[in-house]
């Protein structure tokens, strides 16, 4: 996979300033996919579980809008506890949270005057999840953002469809034969006014747009201007206008602040712009128990996280809470693995910058301090030979210690090449970090 980034691209000064307020140092975010689909767990009347993502159930099981409304009308995550969620995230070293305020199914997790198809007005639960969670996150020192599907909305016939299986008429069988889809009518009626509600009524640090089907410059600008008008510090992601694999164009950079790479992509090369990887603890985003699904192993999860940070980005790792409102215990466990590792090795992650050397080493990856005077070697694959080499150094290394316990590591440097003699066993199961003092002029 080739990132379609051009080295000449330049972030605007405004975007850089917004990133530097907190985003670049945060590194670890919790993505949350929660909605009506969470209660179905990937299957509806025996159908639909072959799709990888449970939040796509309305399309995978071809559920007509009227029927999906009945599922929505019973959505009751009675055990939802915003403080417990926020505390769990904060305890795992997570610095920000991004939750689905409205996914492609069109159902909102916040109170909306624009559409009563929302958790407060449409369900027995009646509580505003976005309000409760935003307040809890800020109480626990976390930044708070919302995901909003601005282009797709399966509940609105005017919104464009991006799917193979279900047609517009599978979902809306009563549409008149001469119905003319009009995306701008949908934007003016629902998605733009709902974005206005979100930025006016909630303390948002970030807004995460997704799947910009049909979104051209003019349409994107409506959303960007709306966010900037009410909340000038709020970060906007690139999926406002670019899909995960689109070529990034300089002319669009003022509309958003940072680049979301593809879903679940782990960056492996140096990137010219600051990025965020929307990863997940499992194969789905929404909670899924039906059909094919898997969770990452502890090692895979931690390695994906470390590679993302070393390439110069944040990892926004998703969990899908259960329909009853409780967090998925397996997601909590995997967050805890990263959190426990960060308690010892956080210095190599938070406030770090990407690998300044030319290549990614075979044995793992490298991050650095902002002043470039410290390199952190993340040894992900412990060598049988007992040693590793670092190539491409531009000055002399003056010390090497394990971050875990401060013990010295023997090393020998020959020009731009450094050899480190390691212990017989890794000091950490998944990532032993060696801290190099590396003075630069």
CB of 278 to ligand H79, least distance (A): 5
Residue from 38, 39, 211, 355 binding ligand H79 (CB under 6 A) = 211
Beta-sheet pairing, 374-379 with 364-368: antiparallel
By CB under 6 A, residue 278 contacts ligand H79: yes
Residue from 132, 210, 276, 365 binding ligand H79 (CB under 6 A) = 210
Give the Cα separation of 130 and 115 in Å (integer): 16
Angle between helices 82-91 and 129-139 (to 10 degrees): 40
Task: Give every strand in the sheet of 387-390, ordered side by side.
Answer: 387-390, 417-421, 410-414
Beta-sheet pairing, 387-390 with 313-319: unpaired
By CB under 6 A, residue 202 contacts ligand H79: no
CB of 60 to ligand H79, least distance (A): 7
Between 146 and 422, CB nearer to ligand H79: 146
Residues 144-173 that bind ligand H79 (CB under 6 A): 163
CB 18 within 8 A of CB 305: no
C-alpha pair distances (Å), 339 with each of 205, 255, 343, 366, 401: 23, 34, 6, 19, 22
Tokens standing for 356?
A: 């300044």
Residue from 3, 28, 44, 53 binding ligand H79 (CB under 6 A) = 53
Give the Cα separation of 62 and 66 in Å (integer): 12
Give the Cα separation of 32 and 260 in Å (integer): 16
Between 52 and 87, CB nearer to ligand H79: 52
C-alpha pair distances (Å), 326 with each of 85, 140, 406: 8, 18, 39
Between 153 and 428, CB nearer to ligand H79: 153
Which of 48-56, 86-94, 176-184, 350-358 is the region at the interface with ligand H79 (rule: CB under 6 A)? Answer: 48-56
Tokens standing for 276?
A: 């965020």
Residue from 55, 156, 257, 428 binding ligand H79 (CB under 6 A) = 55
By CB under 6 A, residue 52 contacts ligand H79: yes
Q: Is the dihedral of CA 327, 328, 331, 332 positive or negative?
A: positive
In terms of C-beta density within 10 A (0-12 exposed, 13-18 middle, 19 or more buried), how is residue 241 classed?
buried
By CB under 6 A, residue 54 contacts ligand H79: no
By CB under 6 A, residue 285 contacts ligand H79: yes
Beta-sheet pairing, 313-319 with 364-368: unpaired
Size of the site for ligand H79 (CB under 6 A): 11
x-or-dash string of contact with ligand H79, 237-266, rule CB under 6 A: --------------------------x---
Which of 34-42, 50-58, 115-123, 420-428 is the region at the interface with ligand H79 (rule: CB under 6 A)? Answer: 50-58
Tokens standing for 358?
A: 């030319």
CB of 99 to ligand H79, least distance (A): 11
Which of 49-57, 351-359, 384-392, 420-428 is the region at the interface with ligand H79 (rule: CB under 6 A)? Answer: 49-57
Between 93 and 278, CB nearer to ligand H79: 278
Which stretches of the chain bind ligand H79, using CB under 6 A?
51-53, 55-56, 163, 210-211, 263, 278, 285
């Amino acid at each position: 996979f080739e990132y379609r980034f051009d080295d000449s691209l330049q972030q605007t000064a405004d975007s850089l300033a917004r990133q530097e307020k907190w985003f670049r140092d945060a590194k670890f975010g919790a993505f949350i996919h929660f909605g009506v689909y969470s209660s179905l767990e990937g299957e509806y009347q025996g159908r639909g579980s072959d799709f990888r993502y449970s939040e796509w159930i309305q399309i995978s099981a071809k559920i007509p809008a009227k029927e999906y409304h009945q599922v929505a009308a019973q959505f009751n995550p009675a055990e939802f506890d915003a403080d417990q969620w926020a505390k769990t995230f904060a305890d795992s070293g997570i610095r920000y949270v991004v939750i689905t305020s409205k996914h492609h199914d069109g159902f909102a997790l916040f109170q909306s005057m624009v559409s009563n198809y929302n958790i407060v007005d449409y369900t027995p639960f009646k509580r505003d999840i976005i309000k409760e969670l935003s307040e809890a996150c800020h109480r626990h020192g976390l930044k708070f953002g919302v995901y909003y599907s601005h282009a797709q909305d399966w509940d609105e016939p005017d919104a464009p469809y991006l799917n193979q299986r279900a047609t517009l008429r599978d979902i809306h069988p009563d549409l008149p034969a001469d119905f003319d889809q009009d995306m701008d009518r949908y934007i003016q009626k629902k998605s733009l006014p709902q974005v206005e509600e979100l930025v006016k009524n909630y303390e948002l640090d970030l807004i995460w747009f997704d799947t910009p089907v049909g979104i051209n410059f003019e349409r994107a600008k409506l959303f960007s201007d709306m966010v900037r008008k009410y909340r000038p510090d709020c970060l906007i992601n690139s999926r406002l206008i670019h899909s995960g694999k689109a070529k990034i164009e300089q002319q669009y950079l003022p509309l958003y602040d940072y680049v979301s790479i593809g879903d679940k992509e782990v960056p492996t090369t140096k990137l010219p712009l600051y990025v965020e990887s929307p990863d997940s603890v499992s194969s789905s985003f929404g909670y899924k128990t039906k059909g094919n699904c898997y969770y990452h192993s502890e090692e895979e999860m931690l390695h994906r996280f470390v590679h993302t940070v070393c390439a110069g980005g944040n990892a926004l790792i998703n969990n899908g809470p259960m329909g009853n409102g409780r967090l998925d215990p397996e997601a909590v466990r995997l967050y805890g693995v990263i959190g426990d590792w960060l308690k010892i090795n956080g210095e190599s992650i938070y406030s770090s910058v990407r690998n300044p050397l030319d290549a990614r080493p075979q044995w793992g990856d490298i991050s650095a301090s902002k002043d470039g005077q410290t390199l952190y070697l993340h040894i992900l694959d412990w060598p049988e030979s007992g040693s590793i080499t670092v190539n491409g150094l531009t000055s002399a290394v003056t010390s090497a210690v394990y971050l875990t316990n401060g013990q010295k590591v023997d090393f020998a440097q020959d020009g731009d090449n450094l050899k480190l003699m390691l212990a017989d066993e890794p000091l950490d199961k998944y990532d032993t970090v060696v801290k190099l003092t590396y003075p630069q002029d």
